[in-house]
Amino acid sequence: MLQSDTKQFLSSNDFKFLDRRIVEFILRQEHLEIDEIDLWWALLSWAKHNHEDTSGTTTVRKTLGNMLTYIRFLAMSLKEFAEEVVKTSILTDYEIIHVFVALATGKPHGLKYLSESGKRCPQTFVLEFNGYLPVTTSSSSFSHTITVKNRRLKLKSGNMMLAISFSVKLQQNQTNILTFGPFSNCSSFTADVILEANESYNLVFTSHSGQSMQLVNSEPQYSCNYCTVSVNSSCIRNLTFVVL
């Protein structure tokens, strides 16, 4: 859930009540589908909620502590940094100038206690279908069975063996869930569809206008830590997934 629904989770009221160690764990993640400015807003919300100071001597920065080192200011735009970070007065003038220069020039800011990392990215993997013999067939429809293991996945895209006109259907229990296309004279497709953990789906490719598909004999199963794809003859080169 954290990787896929990060923004929704961080903007929820429950986030404010998390233990500091859990918040720090989230900030240290490399793979998150969220803009850094949204992560900054969430952290500020958490810090203000947990800012226990009746004397007025403790700043929000002290409440943040070393968690500030995990915020990737260089993943923000100049506008975001100027309008949403500078105005909080959490960073010193010295730090602000160095980050501004780094954002404008693309060079490191040189502040050892602030992150110089770029944007976080979702965790992706590509499943390659390495066929070994071309197949001639008159059939215009082929199916690949995707069995998802214990993590939700997003099927992002796929590449065909060659450019043709085709459509793709995602089915579960012989019921159509979604249809992608039709694609005209294309060698790739984009899906962006969620596949639930511990579920099986059929990905059915159908050619249009009587075109034949280029196929290759392939292994009966292609497996990784996150899913298994069962196929006899494949009309696709690869599928790209995002781990959620």
Domains and CATH numbers, the chain: 1-105 (1.25.40), 126-243 (2.60.120)
What tens digit of pLDDT does each residue of 133-183 get? 566 555 678 889 999 999 889 999 999 888 888 999 999 998 999 999 899
Cβ atoms of 140 and 213 closer than 8 Å? yes
Q: What are the helix (H) ranges across the chain?
A: 6-10, 20-27, 36-49, 60-64, 78-80, 93-105
Reported confidence tier of residue 235, pLDDT bands at 50, 70, 90 = confident
Question: Global pTM?
Answer: 0.64
Give me the pLDDT at residue 195, please.
95
User: How far is 121 from 94, CA to CA, in rounded Å?
Assistant: 29
Reduce the DSSP state of residue 93 to 3 states and report it.
helix
Give me the pLDDT at residue 221, please.
81
Please state the length of the chain. Answer: 244
Cβ atoms of 158 and 128 closer than 8 Å? no
CB atoms within 10 A of CB 55: 5
Cβ atoms of 187 and 159 closer than 8 Å? yes
Q: What is the DSSP letter of 200?
A: E
CB atoms within 10 A of CB 192: 11
What tens digit of pLDDT does each residue of 81-140 get? 999 999 999 999 999 999 999 999 999 999 999 999 888 877 889 988 876 556 655 567
Q: Tokens representing 87?
A: 């105005």
User: How far is 109 from 126, CA to CA, in rounded Å?
Assistant: 34
Give me the pLDDT at residue 57, please.
47
Cβ atoms of 241 and 226 closer than 8 Å? yes
Q: Above 80 in pLDDT, residue 229?
A: yes
Q: Which amino acid is at 55?
A: S
